[in-house]
Amino acid sequence: MDKVLIIDDDEELCELVSEYLTVEGFETEAVHDGQSGLTRARSGDYNLAILDVMLPKMNGFEVLRDLRKDSTLPVLMLTARGDDTERIVGLETGADDYLPKPFNPRELVARLRAILRRVNSEDGESVSADKLVIGDVEISASGRSVKLNDEELPLTSVEFDLLAMLLRHAGNIVKKDDLSETVLERELSPYDRSLDMHISNLRKKLGPRPDGTDRIKTVRSVGYIYTVV
């Protein structure tokens, strides 16, 4: 049974979400301030965290920023509806996904299960060998690990799956629609910036090649391409 940590100061909402997730087969625990949430998230007792932005003691961005210093615990962030800034900052800080309030509980469950499938996957769709090497980047499908110049590169589950898909199609354009449906497990909508932000984070972590060229190029209105030299 997957255990979900809910970090939200709205106790009534936490209770409702906990009841719904319990029916769907999850085990839950709720805390109501950022400081307690960070401590519990670091405990290693959970498979995933639901994190609200507006929290006492520490806001959600501060919690996520500190958590990402030493943990890859998947995080779904709750944001204000229509607030693009919160979504962008959350994704830049390392959130795996976001959901605006108020939300449909069914969509919450769908998002949680999509995240957990990515985390628990051993990349069974890959038809190539376990290890794939493109230039100075090496990716292990079963270990879900990436090395850059023989050093471990810490990636979120979304970033790993995006990179794996781009590397498997290195030198070719991968459509944004295909990336969204395969990695995020949802159709790409016109106002959803999450895919772009995950790609941006991936670019920052990979950095440019030694010759200064970009590893991932944007093909405007179409998708992305991992370039080969």
CA distance 162 to 199: 8
Q: Give every strand in the sheet of 48-52, ordered side by side.
A: 27-31, 3-7, 48-52, 75-80, 97-101
Longest CA–CA span in the chain (Å) reads 55
- The pLDDT confidence band at residue 82, using thresholds 50, 70 and 90, is low
Read off the pLDDT of residues 180-215 as tens digits, 9 standing for 90 and up: 998 988 888 887 788 999 999 999 999 998 888 899
Does the fold of domain 131-226 match that of domain 3-120?
Answer: no
> Is pLDDT of 34 > 50?
yes
> Is pLDDT of 167 > 50?
yes
Backbone φ, ψ for residue 61 (5° rounding):
-65, -40
pLDDT of residue 123: 39
The amino acid at 79: T
Q: Over the chain, what is the mean pLDDT?
A: 88
> Is pLDDT of 49 > 60?
yes
Domain 3-120: give its CATH code.
3.40.50.2300
Q: Does domain 131-226 have CATH number 1.10.10.10?
A: yes
Of 17-21, 47-51, 86-90, 111-115, the one with minimum mean pLDDT is 86-90
pLDDT: is 81 or 180 the higher one?
180
The amino acid at 212: G
Mean predicted confidence (pLDDT) in 68-84? 85
Of 27-31, 101-105, 141-145, the one with minimum mean pLDDT is 141-145
- Return the domain boundaries, the chain: 3-120, 131-226
